[in-house]
């Protein structure tokens, strides 16, 4: 069974290039009517045992927008990493 990656509030491992990542959504009690989306990633091929690393968080009025922003930032970062280590 495939994980549900279309729902931003679903718990799922997503893939991009050599990375696995997940986005954690948190209702923000500090800023009214906002949602925090944190992105955590790992690269299973790494020799460190595949630990999870915190990337960044984005705050927005909706979960969908917060997820979209943090995923966009992560994918841009991951593409730069690939170019830095590429052939």
DSSP state letters, 25-81: EEEESSSTTEEEEEEEEE-TTSTT-S--EEEEEEEESSHHHHHHHHHHHHHHHHHHH
Q: What is the pLDDT of residue 3?
A: 47
Tell me the pTM. 0.76
- pLDDT tens, position by position, 35-78: 999 999 998 888 776 789 999 999 999 999 999 999 999 999 99
Which sequence spans correspond to the domains of the chain?
Answer: 14-85
């Amino acid at each position: 069974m495939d994980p549900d990656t279309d729902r931003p509030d679903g718990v799922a491992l997503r893939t991009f290039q050599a990375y696995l990542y997940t986005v954690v959504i948190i209702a923000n009690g500090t800023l009214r009517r906002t949602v925090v989306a944190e992105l955590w990633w790992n690269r299973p091929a790494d020799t460190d045992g595949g630990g999870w690393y915190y990337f960044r968080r984005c705050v927005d009025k909706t979960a969908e927008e917060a997820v979209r922003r943090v995923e966009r930032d992560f994918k841009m970062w991951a593409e730069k990493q690939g170019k830095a280590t590429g052939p």
